[in-house]
Amino acid sequence: MELWQQMLRQSIDSADDLVKRFNFDKETAERLNSLFHIRINPYYLSLIREPGDPIWLQCMPDATELADDGLPEDPLNEDGDSPVPSITHRYPDRVLFLVTSQCSMYCRFCTRKRKVSDSSKISMKYIQDGLDYIKAHPEVRDVIVSGGDPLMLTDVMLEKVLKGLREIPHVEIIRVHTKMPAVLPQRITPQLVEMMKKYQPIYVNVHFNHPWECTTEAKQACDLLADAGFPLGNQMVLMKGVNDDADVVKDLNRKLLMMRVRPYYIYQADMVKSTNHFRTPIRVGLEIMDKLRGHTSGLAVPYFVIDAPGGGGKIPILPQYILYHDDEKIVIRNYKYEVFEYAEVNDDTKPVPVDNDARFLRRSPVVIRERKRRISKRKATSTVKVKNEKPAEG
């Protein structure tokens, strides 16, 4: 048995554990565990500094979850876009492939509470159905392997999934979404990454929410993945009391870059039943983005998105940078709230005809692009600084 599996066996994973270790009321603990299973592995538990801190809030159940907040169980309509139990097919060329119900730590803000930890709803017995579906749909070129956490599978079982996907000719990209580097980095072993390397290109998206999760062990796990050639991206969920502060997010993203993890998304918390206490006003996310852009490296600035309720997909949300725009100019502001005017292009040119002679088909597009670049350089107008004042946000 590997170390990570031994650590899982030592997890807090029952109402009795909550009562004995943290003096929970027995009835409340049982109701919370029934609502959404408890699992806190020893490593993640060790990151807690005091009750109520950002690590505690993410992993420790709270009586607030028992209140009727009126939110849906499946706000993103994943089940409605699920042609077979293991697949959500929402976007034209990619699918979500759920391969396990298990996680090494059950996040209390989980968007998939209705399924995660329930092996009757997400099960390995559906994996072949998922592979068959993907094989039958040649438009699918990108597969997101998730769950649960796919790295809860043994190396042998995970390889069966990856090998099955790589045997489908039209699958170009595989993405593995895992929280293991943040919550149980011991799972990332040399043996695991050597196996995964056989099925490149694989992109690995991780899930760090707070700088305290960027430990020495987490860095070692990310180093193993990065050294093996896996591009790493981070998906952070914005949560009240956890990371709803620009300085915290900036610190997290800088630490992630030092671990070779590119900040990818900041998610506005989904409207999931029993998680309303985590949600923040939209303005909080916009303020964070406003204090990132220009104030730190562009590498440390992710997209702020709302995963639209009802299955609308991820929609990027930005602070107001455009102050005015018409046919003659655009008025924009920068991170210092300085205002600039940029002349609009009068685009009344006709398309350059293309010579269809077969001898020139490979060469003509290159010539056309170069010609357009030369034209745009002649017509380009430098930005003009207009004034230096902070405009009202609209």
Residues 337 and 305 occupy one common structural domain: no
pLDDT per residue of the chain (394 residues) written in tens, 0 to 9? 899 999 999 999 999 999 999 999 999 999 999 999 999 999 999 999 999 999 999 999 999 999 999 999 999 999 999 999 999 999 999 999 999 999 999 999 999 999 999 999 999 899 999 999 999 999 999 999 999 999 999 999 999 999 999 999 999 999 999 999 999 999 999 999 999 999 999 999 999 999 999 999 999 999 999 999 999 999 999 999 999 999 999 999 999 999 999 999 999 999 999 999 999 999 999 999 999 999 999 999 999 999 999 999 999 999 999 999 999 999 999 999 999 999 999 877 666 665 555 544 544 444 334 444 444 444 444 444 444 444 444 3
Structural domain span for residue 370: 322-388
Residues 332 and 301 occupy one common structural domain: no
Which amino acid would we find at residue 262?
R
The string of pLDDT tens digits covering residues 225-257 is 999 999 999 999 999 999 999 999 999 999 999
Residues 190/220, Cβ–Cβ less than 8 Å:
no
- Domain contains 84: yes
Q: Can you give the pTM of this predicted structure? A: 0.87
User: Of 253, 288, 316, which residue is a domain's last?
Assistant: 316
- Domain contains 49: no
- Domain contains 57: no
Residues 188 and 332 occupy one common structural domain: no
DSSP 8-state code for residue 358? G
Comparing CA positions, the residue from 144, 86, 87, 145 lying closest to residue 119 is: 86
The confidence score (pLDDT) of residue 53 equals: 98
Residues 237 and 306 occupy one common structural domain: yes
- Domain contains 290: yes
Residues 306 and 327 occupy one common structural domain: no
Residues 149 and 257 occupy one common structural domain: yes
Which CATH number goes with the domain that contains 133?
Answer: 3.20.20.70
- Domain contains 99: yes
C-alpha span between 261 and 257 (Å, rounded): 5
Coil/strand/helix, residue 110: coil
- Domain contains 10: no
Residues 326 and 311 occupy one common structural domain: no
Residues 6+ apart with CB under 8 A from 323: 331, 332, 333, 339, 391, 394
The string of pLDDT tens digits covering residues 353-391 is 655 555 445 444 443 344 444 444 444 444 444 444 444
Residues 266 and 351 occupy one common structural domain: no
User: Of 316, 345, 375, which residue is a domain's last?
Assistant: 316
Residues 6+ apart with CB under 8 A from 178: 149, 150, 151, 204, 205, 206, 207
Structure token pair of residue 89: 């097919």
- Domain contains 342: yes
The confidence score (pLDDT) of residue 214 equals: 98
Catalytic residues: 90-91, 94, 103, 107, 110, 112, 270, 307, 314
The confidence score (pLDDT) of residue 346 equals: 84
Say how many domains are in the chain: 2
The confidence score (pLDDT) of residue 347 equals: 77
